[in-house]
Amino acid sequence: MDEEAAPTEWGSEKVFLSGADGKLWPMFFFSVLLVAALNFYAVSREPDRVMIDELHEHENEVVRVEGIMVSWVEDPYSDGSLRLDIIIQDETGVAEVRWFNFGDVPTIGSTISAVGDVRQWEGRFWIQSLGNGALQWDASDIVEPTNVPLAIIGQDAEPFVNQTITVEGYITKTVHPDTVWTSAYIADHPNYANSKHQLRLFISSASGSWIEAGSKITVQGQIRFEEREFRYVMYTQGPEMMVDYTVIPSLSELEWDEQDTWGYEMNKLVTIDGIPYQDVNGDWLIQGPEAHQHICILPSERLLENNASSFSGIEGTWTGRLVWRGDIDDVCIDDGGEYTSDAVIGVEDLLFQIVSYPSTYIDDDSMQWNVTGYLAESLSPEDSSASVRDAQSWKDDKVSVYVQFQSSRQEWIEEGQRLEMTVTVSWSPEYGSLNLVAQQWTLQGNPLPAETLSWDTDVVVWGYAENNLVYIEGKMLDADGSGVTWIVRPGTSDRVCAETQGLANLSLAAMNHSQPWYGRLIEKQDINNRTNFLCLSHASAMDSDGDGLSDYSENEVHETDVNEVDSDGDGFTDTEEVLANSDPIDGESTPDNCCGTGEG
């Protein structure tokens, strides 16, 4: 029988607690204390450090990573958000830290510690951090950049790879204050022709102010080797580019006879000679030497402060920033008018923006963007789409984007042709990708020169030149009597078919030697053998005087005059003499007295 419990007075009643019940209260209070202590420990303790290659194992957990700060971008969406995206690297990999309500950051290359939640979206992992305490570093971990001359980097860049340095020079491109991603070159002379050394800059984060082309700047960043471009580049941040405003950059002069090149001066401060006038709509324009030559100008109050007559009709040199006005789809000189200078996004910037923040562009597919770039492949009149890249040659390009061309065309557009396009951006459900559509475009400058294909390269390499204009050196002949014309590599059985619509009056018999042939490399089908093969379409050779001999034959083989049908003036054409084995540059040697009229 249990021992009688001791009475306890609560209020006016007596309550009896058994021995077991009396132990519950101490256990309850101990449990509350233990939970509180664990919660305090969980909140106050520093999260465990994880290696970057293990982040995927800690989704939705608070972790700490430590490594070298490689780069950062402020407000990556350009929407005014208080956000800093940081790339941090440890010995196992790199990770992105999205830091909201951020504070100060140390020098690029410094060692930092970042705390935040591991987030994931469609296979992309990042660390989301909040507030000043999310990033920490010791004073001993801050890198002090070293000033290095461009010439030293040019002689040997390897010692400076992944080192934080400062470089002084002249920037070759105008940087818009709101452009988050862009690139330019820093040179050792403001004049491109006089510069001896140049270094490519990859600039992230908006600079916040205009940096004019030709300005003297000091940039801080890290040297990297870009494997795709086979060259060293420098990564830097826009806000850390310091401008020496005591050095005034020279202004670009716009020439009325070279309007197709004005696109190269976009966003730069420029000058132009002309007479300003106001049209019937009240818009101001500058009239050039010819009636059809004019450009709009947005005059500032400074120019119009007295009255319009002090500005109108006065011939002079006018200065402003060359900008794109979307409401008139044309360039304009902005001298402080009601329109501000909007960033003209090039192919490179546009592609960066689309890939990173596609929703910004596909929310309104009626929005138009002015884009310049170079065709990455020749575009036939029958085709309506092609890739456009940010450099004329594939060796120099950084990005490319697929573009549809809506309007019909009668002519080919060649690889490397510079285009200024007005495009819209939409979503293509068929391909599950963004779709750029060129509403209109203009051609600028010249395309890439025709490539000379080498017989020593693999046929796969020749395939890269498909649809391009090329040169193929060889002897052209009807090899098998079938009527098919071939270009044959001398001394071998290597050959490629040739469509000779472009031969005109050229005499194959008179050019019985190896020489370059010009045409478009196309792919044809052999239906009987179910194979495809390459062929030189519209194969031809230059014949300046139309005598039947190509310029190459006359210059390199017979030493005749490419501008004279009868080089020696003996009454016989150069081709007639070559076919008769007489000397076309010797007036005494003719088909009549030399070798007969045989074909040799």
CATH code of the domain in which 494 resides: 2.40.50
Q: Give the residue among 401, 461, 398 at the shortest CA–CA distance from 229.
A: 398
Confidence bin at 66 (pLDDT 50/70/90): very high
Cα Rg, the chain, nearest whole Å: 36
d(C-alpha 145, C-alpha 138), whole Å: 16
The answer to whether residue 468 is domain-embedded is yes
Question: Exposure of 23 by Cβ count < 10 A (0-12 exposed, 13-18 middle, 19+ buried)?
Answer: exposed
Q: Determine the pLDDT at residue 308.
A: 55
Q: Average pLDDT, stretch 217-245?
A: 86
pLDDT over 60 at 36, yes or no: no
Q: Are residues 370 and 420 in the same domain?
A: yes
Q: Are residues 233 and 157 in the same domain?
A: yes
Q: Are residues 381 and 460 in the same domain?
A: no
- Domain final residue pick, 398, 423, 444: 444
Scored b (16 or more CB within 10 A) or e, 151-160 reads eebeeebeeb
The answer to whether residue 573 is domain-embedded is no
Q: Average pLDDT, stretch 323-349?
A: 65
Q: Which of 24-38, 233-247, 526-540 has the least mean pLDDT?
A: 24-38
Q: Are residues 276 and 208 in the same domain?
A: no
Q: Are residues 94 and 58 in the same domain?
A: yes
The answer to whether residue 583 is domain-embedded is no
Q: Are residues 351 and 439 in the same domain?
A: yes
Q: What is the CATH number of the domain that holds 174?
A: 2.40.50.140
Domain span at 282: 252-334
Q: Which of 14-18, 83-87, 225-229 has the highest mean pLDDT?
A: 83-87
Neighbours of 40 (CB within 10 A): 10
Confidence bin at 44 (pLDDT 50/70/90): very low
- Domain final residue pick, 421, 444, 467: 444
d(C-alpha 546, C-alpha 564), whole Å: 9
Q: Are residues 63 and 19 in the same domain?
A: no
Bridge pairing between strands 164-171 and 146-147? parallel
- Contact status, residue 285 vs residue 295, Cβ threshold 8 Å: yes
Confidence bin at 300 (pLDDT 50/70/90): confident
Confidence bin at 546 (pLDDT 50/70/90): confident
For 12, 427, 449, 465, the CA distances from 411, given in Å and listed in that order, are 108, 29, 17, 18
pLDDT over 50 at 310, yes or no: yes
Confidence bin at 340 (pLDDT 50/70/90): very low
For residue range 375-409, what is the model confidence (pLDDT) as tens digits? 988 998 888 888 888 788 887 777 778 888 877 78
pTM: 0.43
Bigger pLDDT: 479 or 107? 107
Average pLDDT, the chain: 79
d(C-alpha 347, C-alpha 351), whole Å: 6
Q: Are residues 330 and 353 in the same domain?
A: no
- Contact status, residue 370 vs residue 342, Cβ threshold 8 Å: no
Beta-bridge partners for 181 = 204
- Domain final residue pick, 493, 508, 540: 540
Q: Are residues 100 and 83 in the same domain?
A: yes
Number of domains in the chain: 6
Bigger pLDDT: 316 or 361? 316
The answer to whether residue 269 is domain-embedded is yes
The answer to whether residue 438 is domain-embedded is yes
> For residue 394, what are its two tokens?
């594939």
Q: Are residues 291 and 360 in the same domain?
A: no
3-state SS of 290-338 is CCCCEEEEECCHHHHCCCHHHCCCCCEEEEEEEEEECCCCEEEEECCCC
**Element (DSSP H or E) covering residue 33:** helix 19-44
The answer to whether residue 463 is domain-embedded is yes
Beta-bridge partners for 202 = 183, 235
pLDDT over 60 at 306, yes or no: no
The answer to whether residue 273 is domain-embedded is yes
Q: Are residues 57 and 133 in the same domain?
A: yes
Confidence bin at 528 (pLDDT 50/70/90): low
The answer to whether residue 585 is domain-embedded is no
pLDDT over 50 at 31, yes or no: yes
- Contact status, residue 408 vs residue 391, Cβ threshold 8 Å: no
> For residue 294, what are its two tokens?
């004019």
State the DSSP code for 556: I
> For residue 530, what are its two tokens?
């179910």
Q: Are residues 235 and 157 in the same domain?
A: yes
